[in-house]
Chain A
Amino acid sequence: MSVATEVCTEDRVWQALKDVNDPEMPISLVDMGMVYAIQIKNSTVKIQLGPTSTACPALDFIREDIEKRLQQENIERVEVEWVWDPPWTNDRISEEGKFILTTWGVSV
Chain B
Amino acid sequence: MSVLTDDALKAMIHNEGYLVETPEEMTEAYKKALIQILLVQADTELMSAPAYYMAACKAPSLNTRLSAYAIIQDELGHAHITFRLLEDLGMDKEHLIFGRKPNEFKNPFGFDQPLETWVELVMANAYFDRAGIVLLSDPFQNTSYGPWKRALAKVDKEELFHLRHGEVWMKRLCEAGGKIKAEIQRAADWMFPMGVEWFGMPDHLKRHTAQLEFKLKGKTNDQLRQDWLSAVVPLSESCGIKIPAHFDAESGHYVVDYHLPCDYDASQKQWLFDKPITWDQVFERWKRRGPTNEEYVNMFQRQYKQFMTSFNGGA
Q: In the complex, are there CB atoms of A and B closer than 8 Å? A: yes
* Tier of interface size on chain B: 10 to 19
What 0/1 readout, one digit per residue, does chain B (266-306) give for beta carbons within 8 Å of chain A?
00000000000000000000000000000000000000000
* A23 in contact (CB, < 8 A): yes
A84 CA / B233 CA spacing, docked (Å): 42
Q: How far does the Cβ of A103 sit from chain B's closest Cβ, in whole Å?
A: 8
Contacts A23-B164, A24-B161, A61-B164; A55 near B66 (Cβ below 8 A): yes
CB of A26 within 8 A of CB of B67, answer no
Q: A29-88: which residues lie under 8 A (CB-CB) from chain B? A: 55, 57-58, 61
* B6 in contact (CB, < 8 A): no
* B150 in contact (CB, < 8 A): yes
CB of A25 within 8 A of CB of B153, answer no
CB of B158 within 8 A of CB of A105, answer no
The size of the chain A interface, using a CB distance under 8 A, is: 11
Contacts A23-B164, A105-B150, A105-B151; A55 near B70 (Cβ below 8 A): yes
The A-B contact count (CB < 8 A) is 27
Contacts A23-B161, A24-B161; A57 near B154 (Cβ below 8 A): no
* A108 in contact (CB, < 8 A): no
Secondary structure of the A contact surface, majority rule: loop
Query: Which B residue sits closest to A55, measured CB to CB?
Result: B66
CB of B70 within 8 A of CB of A57, answer yes
Q: List chain A residues, Cβ under 8 A from B165.
A: 57
* B157 in contact (CB, < 8 A): yes
Q: List chain B residues, Cβ under 8 A from A23.
A: 161, 164
A98 CA / B276 CA spacing, docked (Å): 54
* A106 in contact (CB, < 8 A): yes
Q: List chain A residues, Cβ under 8 A from B158.
A: 24
A24 CA / B161 CA spacing, docked (Å): 6
Chain A to chain B contacts (Cβ below 8 Å), 15 pairs: A23-B161, A23-B164, A24-B157, A24-B158, A24-B161, A26-B157, A55-B70, A57-B66, A57-B67, A57-B69, A57-B70, A61-B164, A61-B168, A105-B150, A105-B151
Q: Which 5 A-B pairs have the closest CB atoms?
A: A57-B70, A57-B67, A24-B161, A57-B66, A23-B161
